[in-house]
Amino acid sequence: MLALVQRVSRAQVTVAGVVVGAIGRGFLLLVCAEQGDTVAEADKLLAKVLKLRVFSDADGKMNLSLQDIDGQGTQGGLLVVSQFTLAADTSGGNRPSFKAAAAPDAGRRLYAHFVAQAQLQHSPVATGIFGADMQVELVNDGPVTIPLRQTAAPRT
């Protein structure tokens, strides 16, 4: 699975003029399932995201995770948006190929699993709508943008 993590001051997703998901400080997470991905990759990717230490501590060092950023017992927000275009391959020319992306049904299942697990392990979690034409607004904090890939162990 692929993800693009953006540390944000705030972010929201709008579908047909209606805000369907919004967070304050936290991560906007664009997620893409690739062919062959399983729930194991989704679970490992989520664990990495939740433990990713890119928020500043009292000394100004990126040393805090999403779950550590507020000392008053609250956590940073997580806005999860499906984005199959992360699997784009532009090596063959100017028009991207998306062959590496999971088929829509498989992608939907893995996205739903990822979101369900995120909601069990973290709060608050907001989402976009899988497959919808979405408008994503964000204030990238830093800016900090980190690509992540969680691949399966070599298949035999």
Please tell me the distance from the alpha carbon of residue 28 to that of residue 24, in angstroms, as a whole number: 10
Q: Which residues are catalytic?
A: 83-85
Q: What is the pLDDT of residues 52-109, one digit of tens each?
A: 999 998 899 999 999 888 654 557 999 999 999 999 999 999 999 999 999 999 999 9
* pLDDT of 143 strictly over 60: yes
pLDDT of residue 73: 52
- Give me the residue label for tokens 């035999």: 156
At a CB cut-off of 8 Å and minimum separation 6, what does 108 contact?
A: 82, 130, 131
Average pLDDT, the chain: 93
State what percent of residues in the chain have pLDDT above 90.
87
* Whole-Å CA distances, 13 to 59, 60, 136, 149: 33, 30, 5, 23
Mean pLDDT of 23-31: 97
CA 105, CA 15: separation in Å to the nearest integer?
21
pLDDT of residue 68: 87
Q: How far apart are CA 6 and CA 81, in angstroms?
A: 12
| Domains along the chain with CATH numbers | 2-148 (3.50.80.10)
Average of pLDDT values for 105-115?
Answer: 98
Inter-residue contact 37 to 1 (CB < 8 Å): yes
